[in-house]
């Protein structure tokens, strides 16, 4: 009887495979979050101040969303193919810095389209390269712990950058936010340069195993993986239920509490970030002890509960408290999305291609979420929209609890 060939086992890195590289990766994650925050909620305010119409602003954001959807999978495949991950990460940083500089200096439609495309390219590169460097640096045995640290530093960077950039925008100008974003590429690249290339195992960084360059073979290895398809479907449902929840609540507050809506939303955004900073390393540890599926069940349960609370009340104090559940979900997903993907693609050589497919599922779920929830809210009220989102979260919980197997390798 012919035994099918088994994927080559890649040795795990030494536990001391450079503390310097690990600390440098911490700071790289921190500064990556900084420069990504600059392109976040400040863009619409800046373009509005430069006399852009809301239609043109919406068109730019739509172009960015579509570009990210198209580029996710090719970017993941590129990260698999290119052995040196640090240059790809540096390219992503340079793209964000360049896009911010273009936006600050020439806020005209054609240039801003180019800037948004550069930003989408950077986002599609930086997620897979950060996870690939993490896996190549510490191996499977310590990956959950490493991803917990990544999530902590990413959220810490987001929270601090949002505060600093908001202050810069208030004290100087909105344009200064994007000049600062461009300048932050310098410490980001310095942190990246401190990660020793010899500490990153190139085989581990793509999931181990033999890399198949033929595209049909690569796609088959991913799309025939039943556990991966279940997990990607669960992530799509998560984003479907999650993405529209706070925007719908913001629209509700804008009509009921127009004077204080900005302050309340700021608290709703900042609160979960600090929850992630507090618990992300613990999530990484528990993922290794309990397994992945119990944490996924907890995450979907927290999301369903949060949407149900939003359906019952729009009282700001209650919603702010419920928003802390979003921090639980963000910490859990920040660790488990790259971790479970690494589990199910182990030995395939296509870890980052699979990450790109999960990223595409995230984009699709988020797009459906805002469209469907907005339609229901307009026709039947915000409570009905939140109940629909809660039902989708409950469907994801059932999928994970009843169908998805545990992926932790004992």
Q: CATH number of the domain at 232, please.
A: 1.20.1250.20
Structural domain for 402, as ranges: 210-410
Q: State whether 325 and 405 are in the same domain.
A: yes
Examine the domain organization and report whether 197 and 83 are in the same domain: yes
Check whether residue 265 and residue 361 sit in a common domain: yes
Domain end (from 206, 231, 254): 206
> Does the pLDDT at position 33 exceed 90?
no
- Look at residues 156, 182, 206 and tell me which one is the last residue of a structural domain: 206
Q: What are the φ and ψ backbone dihedral angles of 224, each rounded to 5 degrees?
A: -90, 0
Q: Which of 14-23, 47-56, 103-112, 339-348 has the lowest mean pLDDT?
A: 14-23
Which of 33-37, 130-134, 138-142 has the weakest average pLDDT?
Answer: 33-37
Q: 7-11, 53-57, 258-262, 266-270 — which is least confidently predicted? A: 7-11
Verify that 104 and 223 share a domain, yes or no. no
Statement to judge: residues 239 and 182 lie in one domain:
no
Residue 6 lies in a domain: no
**Same domain? 24 vs 113:** yes
- Of the listed ranges 109-123, 202-216, 239-253, 257-271, the least confidently predicted one is 202-216
How many domains would you assign to the chain? 2
pLDDT above 60: residue 4: no
pLDDT at residue 217 in the model = 65
Residues 339 and 239 in one domain: yes
Q: Are residues 80 and 121 in the same domain?
A: yes
The answer to whether residue 363 sits within a structural domain is yes
Q: What mean pLDDT is predicted for residues 193-208?
A: 88
376 occurs within a structural domain: yes
User: What per-residue confidence (pLDDT) applies to 1?
Assistant: 41
Give tens-digit pLDDT for 264-281. 777 887 888 889 999 999
Q: Which of 206, 225, 257 is the last residue of a domain?
A: 206
Q: Mean pLDDT highest for which of 9-13, 216-220, 287-291?
A: 287-291
More confident residue, 357 or 6: 357
The verdict on 239 and 91 lying in the same domain is: no
Is 322 within 8 Å of 309 (Cβ atoms)?
A: yes
Residues 187 and 219 in one domain: no
The whole model's pTM is what? 0.84
Residues 365, 294 within the same domain: yes
**pLDDT on residue 5:** 43
Mean residue pLDDT across the chain: 85
Q: What is the 3-state secondary structure (H, E, C) of the chain?
A: CCCCCCCCCCCCCCCCCCHHHHHHHHHHHHHHHHHHHCCCCHHHHHHHHCCCCHHHHHHHHHHHHHHHHHHHHHHHHHHHHCCCHHHHHHHHHHHHHHHHHHHHHCCCHHHHHHHHHHHHHHHHHHHHHHHHHHHHHHCCCCHHHHHHHHHHHHHHHHHHHHHHHHHHHHHCCHHHHHHHHHHCHHHHHHHHHCCCHHHCCHHHHCCCCCCCCCHHHHHHHHHCCHHHHHHHHHHHHHHHHHCCHHHHHHHHHHHHCCCCHHHHHHHHHHHHHHHHHHHHHHHHHHHHHCCCHHHHHHHHHHHHHHHHHHHHCCCHHHHHHHHHHHHHHHHHHHHHHHHHHHHHCCCCCCHHHHHHHHHHHHHHHHHHHHHHHHHHHHHHCHHHHHHHHHHHHHHHHHHHHHCCCCCCCC
* 118 and 161 inside one domain: yes
């Amino acid at each position: 009887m012919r035994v099918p060939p088994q994927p080559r086992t890649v040795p795990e890195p030494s536990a001391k495979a450079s503390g310097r590289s690990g600390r440098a990766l911490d700071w790289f994650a921190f500064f990556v979050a900084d420069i990504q925050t600059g392109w976040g909620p400040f863009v619409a305010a800046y373009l509005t101040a430069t006399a852009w119409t809301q239609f043109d602003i919406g068109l730019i954001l739509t172009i960015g969303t579509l570009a990210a959807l198209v580029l996710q999978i090719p970017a993941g495949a590129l990260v698999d193919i290119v052995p040196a991950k640090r240059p790809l990460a540096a390219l992503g940083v340079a793209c964000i810095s360049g896009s911010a500089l273009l936006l600050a200096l020439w806020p005209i439609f054609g240039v801003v389209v180019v800037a948004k495309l550069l930003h989408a390219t950077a986002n599609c590169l930086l997620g897979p390269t950060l996870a690939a460097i993490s896996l190549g640096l510490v191996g499977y045995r310590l990956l959950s712990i490493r991803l917990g640290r990544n999530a902590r530093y990413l959220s810490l960077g987001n929270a601090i950058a949002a505060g600093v950039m908001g202050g810069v925008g208030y004290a100087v100008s909105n344009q200064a936010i994007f000049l600062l974003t461009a300048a932050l590429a310098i410490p980001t690249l310095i942190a990246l340069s401190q990660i020793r290339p010899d500490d990153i195992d190139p085989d581990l960084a793509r999931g181990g195993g033999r890399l198949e360059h033929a595209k049909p073979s690569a796609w088959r290895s991913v799309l025939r993986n039943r556990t991966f398809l279940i997990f990607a479907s669960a992530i799509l449902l998560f984003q479907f239920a999650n993405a529209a929840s706070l925007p719908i609540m913001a629209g509700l507050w804008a009509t009921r509490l127009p004077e204080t809506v900005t302050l309340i939303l700021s608290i709703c955004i900042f609160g979960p970030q600090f929850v992630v900073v507090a618990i992300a390393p613990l999530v990484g540890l528990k993922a290794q002890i309990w397994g992945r599926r119990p944490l996924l069940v907890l995450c979907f349960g927290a999301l369903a509960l949060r949407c149900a609370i939003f359906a019952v009340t729009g009282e700001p104090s209650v919603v702010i408290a419920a928003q802390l559940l979003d921090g639980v979900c963000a910490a859990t997903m920040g660790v488990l999305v790259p971790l479970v993907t690494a589990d199910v693609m182990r030995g395939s050589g296509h870890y980052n291609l699979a990450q790109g497919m999960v990223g595409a599922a995230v984009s699709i779920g988020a797009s459906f979420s805002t469209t469907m929830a907005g339609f229901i809210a307009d026709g039947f009220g915000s409570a009905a929209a939140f109940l629909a989102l809660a039902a989708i979260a409950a469907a994801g919980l059932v999928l994970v609890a009843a169908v998805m197997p545990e992926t932790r390798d004992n």
